[in-house]
Chains A and B, each alone.
Chain A
């Protein structure tokens, strides 16, 4: 998203933002006005972060915190047992869901917070319990790619949500699947090659074991996202597509 200046402000400086010398000033002023005590409703409204520079409101922070926690919970809950004794957790489902629901910036922040808490020693990763040890483990590429994946899923789903509502679940699924194969799997393969010292074909073969589960999880990430957008329509609207 390179047109941050046109997206950032919620009100006045919409399309005109491109003409102003420093659009960031506009958006910050708007936010200061919006987060005053008199307009509690507006700060409770999730404003889809479209500019990384914008300060987050307490509503944003709480969404980030809760979705970091949700990613942790989906990671440690006993997963769906798949063949070959590899229990598939819902971790990547939570990562994609977080990106789709919170948008690129807040989504990346939420998943990044989850990652930091896990690296600091909170046992929130699936399989291994957490701590800096995972950096030496074979799954490090997947883990480190998650914040980027949430950001990319947020960007792509932002494009989907601008369109009319038709076939939204299918398009969101396509966005999640594209994210998986652009971000998560290449990073995972790199991690396998680096830490497990596998050759590229071997790493690719190991990675392919996750493909079926991943496709299924992406289907469900989009199904869950559509349900949440139905329950909270405002999650799909403000700040996104409001050019």
Chain B
């Protein structure tokens, strides 16, 4: 189960450290991740999966993050178990190990990237991906601005959702005995959040326009 989502949660799973994985450039780590995941998913052989698992666990160990390696399983195990059971019934024990194993391995490998890279570096990497697309009319600066605006809006919207939920509870909404409680609750929780979001977006847009930020030059 997820912890109750706070803004701290949304900073990601980054664990600061000074291992070689923390120091490795983002491009290298992302490239290795893509190659590893593709190999595992395309080759689909138990030997490859086992080798990749050893590789990923070694990487976790040398980054001093071995305790983190099993953590994705905490939220994923019901789905994986269900999937494994179905595959065992449908196509035998090999698939029952291989299919959930592949997924768990790829998720663990991808998580290692998030664990060892600061969110800011990840987001900068994302913006730099837009740079080669400049020829096609992409605008990395405006893309970066929009991404930064999005990250800045998340804490505001989370706070706004929390406020709305608390005021709904204060009105006794969650103890409402009517049969329609769930729909009423969804509506009471979503409408104010959406309206505040539009108002917030317009304020931000006006503020940007007033400063001439994000307009084309």
Partner of B107, one of A69, A76, A136, A231: A136
Q: Mark A127-150, 1 if CB is under 8 A from B, else 0.
A: 111111111111000000000000
Binds B, one of A2-10, A14-22, A54-62, A159-167: A54-62
User: Is B33 a contact partner of A132 (Cβ separation < 8 A)?
Assistant: yes
A62 to B147, CA, bound (A): 10
- Cβ–Cβ contact A121 & B122, under 8 A: yes
Total A-B contacts with CB atoms under 8 angstroms apart: 244
User: Do residues A120 and B126 form an inter-chain contact, with CB atoms below 8 A?
Assistant: yes
Asked whether, in the complex, the Cβ of A62 is within 8 Å of the Cβ of B195, the reply is no
- In the complex, what distance in Å separates the CA atom of A61 from the CA atom of B103? 35
* Cα of A197 to Cα of B154 in the assembled complex, Å: 35
Which of A74, A77, A120, A129 has most B Cβ within 10 Å? Answer: A120
B211 CB to nearest chain A CB (Å): 9
Complex Cα–Cα for A190 and B158 (A): 33
* Residues of A in contact, count (CB < 8 Å): 72
Indicate which residue in B103, B146, B154, B183 contacts A73 across the interface (CB closer than 8 Å): B154
Contact with B along A203-241 (1 / 0, CB 8 A): 000000000000010011001100110011001000000
A66/B5 in contact, CB under 8 A: no
Residues of A within 8 A of B185 (CB): 80
Indicate if B15 sits at the interface (CB-CB under 8 A): no
> How many B residues face the partner with a CB closer than 8 A?
82
B57 at the interface (CB under 8 A from A): no
Given A65-B201, A85-B78, A138-B103: A58 in contact with B187 (beta carbons within 8 A): no
B111 within 8 A of A: yes
Question: Are the C-beta atoms of A66 and B103 separated by less than 8 Å?
Answer: no
Partner of A223, one of B2, B114, B191: B191
Q: Which listed residue, A135, A197, A216, touches B95 by the CB 8 Å rule?
A: A197
Chain B positions 193-217 with a Cβ under 8 Å from a chain A Cβ: 193-195, 197-202, 204-206, 208-210, 212-216
- Docked Cα-Cα span, A80 to B183, in Å, equals 10
Known: A80-B182, A122-B10. A62 touches B205 (CB 8 A): yes
Chain B residues whose C-beta falls within 8 Å of the C-beta of A76 in the assembled complex:
2, 5, 9-10
CB of A72 closer than 8 Å to a CB of B: yes
Q: Are B123 and A73 in contact (CB under 8 A)?
A: no
Q: Are A117 and B209 in contact (CB under 8 A)?
A: no
Chain A residues near B12 (CB, 8 Å)?
121-123, 130
- Residue pair A61, B157 in contact (C-beta under 8 Å): no
B residues 1-56 near A (Cβ < 8 Å) are 2, 4-5, 9-10, 12-13, 30, 33-34, 37, 41
Query: Which residue of chain A lies nearest to B212 when distances are taken between CB atoms in the complex?
Result: A37
Which residues from chain A contact B103 at a C-beta distance below 8 Å? Answer: 136-138, 195-196
Min CB distance A39 to B, Å, is 10
Closest residue of chain A to B201, judged by CB? A66
Asked whether, in the complex, the Cβ of A122 is within 8 Å of the Cβ of B122, the reply is yes
Contacts of B114 in A (CB 8 A): 121, 123, 129-131
**7 sample A-B contacts, Cβ–Cβ < 8 Å, listed by A number:** A61-B142, A62-B202, A72-B10, A123-B10, A138-B83, A196-B83, A216-B183
